[in-house]
């Protein structure tokens, strides 16, 4: 059995696609740029907020100054609207409770800004399900760099070989590989089974409940 499980946030624990898309489109409108269909955001997100702003801008406008201008509008708007349509995936809370009851340490590891991530986790999951939540900070490299995983494992007192990393994108599977964790692709999230397998997923979880069999407690 694993000693620890690390979870990505967007597309793994919560379905936040609508609020992410609405907030980015709001910022684009404010700067008179064209907006995007919500489904396209499944491939815009995953690499942090700076990269998200870069991807949604027209190709000829992806300058540092334009990205920063968009961020100044996007971030405060998203903070105010991050709970409008977002909700945990069906079955995820019950699965987390069972994993916790089995004595497995749980943590959130995300490229979303850390302060926003902690508010979201507290709102949807309270203070007792997760041992820690680490997100994007200027002092730490983002996923797929292993830094954030190593920081998390130090807090949890776990080794990579004892840890399952659950996420819904190639970035998450690459992060698991770079840190020496075992990877599980969350097929209920934003990306495809093909992407997850091609990026090295050892397991594919089609539903949150599949994590119980993968960890041998279900």
Topology of domain 4-15+86-214, CATH: Rossmann fold (3.40.50)
Annotated active-site residue 115? The verdict is: no
Alpha carbon dihedral 122, 127, 130, 132, in 10-degree steps, equals 80
- Catalytic, out of 8, 22, 172, 210: 8
Per the CB < 8 A criterion, the answer to whether 190 and 167 are in contact is: no
- Is the pLDDT reported for residue 218 higher than 60? no
pLDDT digits (tens, 9 = 90+) for 75-104: 999 999 999 999 999 999 999 999 999 999
The encoded tokens of residue 83 equal 């709970």
Structural domain boundaries in the chain: 4-15+86-214, 17-81
pLDDT digits (tens, 9 = 90+) for 133-176: 999 988 899 999 999 999 999 999 999 999 999 999 999 999 99
For 17-81, which CATH superfamily applies?
Putative phosphatase; domain 2 (1.10.150.240)
Query: Matching CATH topology for 4-15+86-214 and 17-81?
Result: no
**Whole-structure pTM value:** 0.96
Tell me the backbone φ, ψ of residue 217, rounded to 5 degrees: -115, -5
């Amino acid at each position: 059995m694993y000693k620890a499980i690390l979870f990505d946030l967007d597309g793994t624990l919560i379905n936040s696609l609508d609020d992410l898309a609405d907030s980015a489109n709001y910022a684009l409108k404010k700067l008179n740029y064209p907006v995007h269909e919500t489904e396209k955001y499944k491939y815009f997100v995953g690499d942090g907020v700076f990269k998200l702003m870069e991807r949604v801008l027209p190709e000829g406008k992806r300058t540092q100054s334009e990205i920063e201008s968009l961020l100044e509008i996007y971030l405060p708007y998203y903070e105010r609207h991050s709970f409008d349509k977002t909700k945990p995936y069906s079955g995820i809370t019950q699965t987390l409770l069972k994993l916790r009851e089995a004595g497995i340490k749980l943590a959130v590891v995300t490229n979303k800004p850390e302060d926003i991530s902690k508010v979201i986790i507290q709102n949807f999951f309270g203070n007792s399900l997760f041992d820690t939540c680490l997100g994007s900070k200027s002092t730490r490299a983002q996923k797929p760099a292993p830094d954030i995983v190593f920081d998390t494992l130090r807090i949890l007192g776990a080794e990579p070989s004892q840890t399952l990393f659950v996420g819904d994108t190639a970035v998450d599977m690459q992060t698991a590989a770079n840190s020496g964790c075992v990877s599980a692709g969350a097929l209920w999230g934003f990306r495809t089974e093909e992407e997850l397998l091609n990026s090295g997923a050892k397991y594919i979880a089609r539903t949150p409940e599949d994590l119980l069999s993968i960890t041998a407690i279900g």
